[in-house]
Copies of this chain bind each other. A is one copy, B any other.
Amino acid sequence: MNRQIILKSRPVGLPTTANFEITEAPALSAKEGELLVKALFISVDPYMRSRMSDAKSYVPSFEVGKPMDGGVVAEVIESNHPDFVAGDAVLGHLQWREIQSVNAQHVTKLDKAAPLSYYLGILGMPGLTAYFGMNEIGKPVAGETVVVSGAAGAVGMVVCQIARIKGCRVVAIAGNDDKNAYLKNVLKVDEVINYKTEKKMKAAIARTCPDGVDVYYDNVGGEISDAVFANINKFARIILCGQISMYNATEVPVGPRPQPLMVKKSALMQGFIVSNYSARFGEGIHQLAQWLGEGKLTYQETIVEGFETLPETFIGLFHGKNTGKLLVKMKD
């Protein structure tokens, strides 16, 4: 049986496994110009939550009754295109399906020199998101203080390390002590804050950022951001990458208005999605691969095995269960 996972119903608030269903996918073959591919690794990412709603967003919504889709690394098992042969590894935006056919022009052949899962992480969307957010918006300067929320996530861990490479003081915010120990001991950030046990976030930011906050890479939003905002310096740059604390909100989240402070501080806040920079992905991948090769970047994945684990693995993102990039590996 060729399995697929469909969106069964739209979640209200946090998604549950009841919003998904495993069904049988049609048998397929590769037509002219197509490849038949077998999934190896399937990515789960926070941004997928917004696609489960039918509200207009920057990416189209999933359709109820149709398969979920996202970043997938797959192996070609049958090629009907001259540039590919069986055994090639490819990256594509594919369905949550064990075996599927795809137009060969919609996938990228992968260099097997790097571990294939890396193309869903540090050499893929999360790595590029960290890279372009920091380079194009944050523009950190040596000696400045960079605060990262969601620091133990796929994007956040790369951000922390880029900030260190740039010579900045790095303060990482994450939700448990194991993650924070990893950030401090392995990724060598200067300070860590556990936002779940820290009672006074504003004071904690002030304590760990004695010279104030120059760059804030924000993956989380909400009250964590309020605490960081209270400590920004003049000409601070705030990179809005994601707002994971808001994704399951059922009403418009309300909080202190940031604008008066932003005027006082001549601060900049900018939202982005990585595809804004798609014309420059080559540059980003090259730089990230170089840092990896030089040992300046450490990479951490959390790999869950089994196609059928996709729904609960995805849901785990919103319970802070992963350290680094979270993805699902198909059983051999």
Contact = CB atoms under 8 A, between A and B. Distances in A.
A263 to B, nearest CB: 4
B58 A266 contact: yes
Interface in A269-305: 269-273, 276
Given A218-B259, A258-B258, A260-B253, A268 B266 contact: no
A45 to B, nearest CB: 14
A263 B150 CA distance: 16
A76 B117 CA distance: 75
Interface stretch (A162-170, A235-243, A318-326): A235-243
Contacts of A253: 256-257, 260
A259 B243 CA distance: 7
Which of A253, A272, A276 has the most chain B CB atoms closer than 10 A to its own CB?
A: A272
A272 B246 CA distance: 28
Contacts of A267: 270-271
Nearest to A251: B256
Contact of A254 (B257, B262, B272): B257
B221 A260 contact: yes
A12 B272 CA distance: 39
A221 B257 contact: yes
A264 interface: yes
Interface string A55-91: 0011000000000000000000000000000000000
Given A256-B253, A259-B225, A271 B264 contact: yes
A221 B266 contact: no
Nearest to A256: B252
Interface residues of A, number: 36
Given A254-B254, A266-B58, A266-B276, A221 B271 contact: no
B252 A254 contact: no
B259 A240 contact: yes
A263 B276 contact: no
Contacts of A31: none
Contacts of A225: 259
Contacts of A255: 254-255, 257
A263 B254 CA distance: 16
A207 interface: no
A300 B303 CA distance: 66
Interface string A134-145: 000000000000
Interface string A203-226: 000000000000000100110010
A269 B137 CA distance: 12
Contact of A270 (B222, B257, B269): B269
A196 interface: no
A242 B255 CA distance: 19
A263 B245 CA distance: 13
A266 B257 contact: no
14 contacts: A58-B234, A58-B266, A218-B259, A221-B260, A225-B259, A240-B263, A243-B259, A252-B256, A252-B257, A253-B260, A258-B258, A259-B271, A266-B273, A269-B269
**In the complex, the 3 A-B pairs of residues with the closest C-beta atoms, listed nearest first:** A262-B271, A263-B271, A268-B270
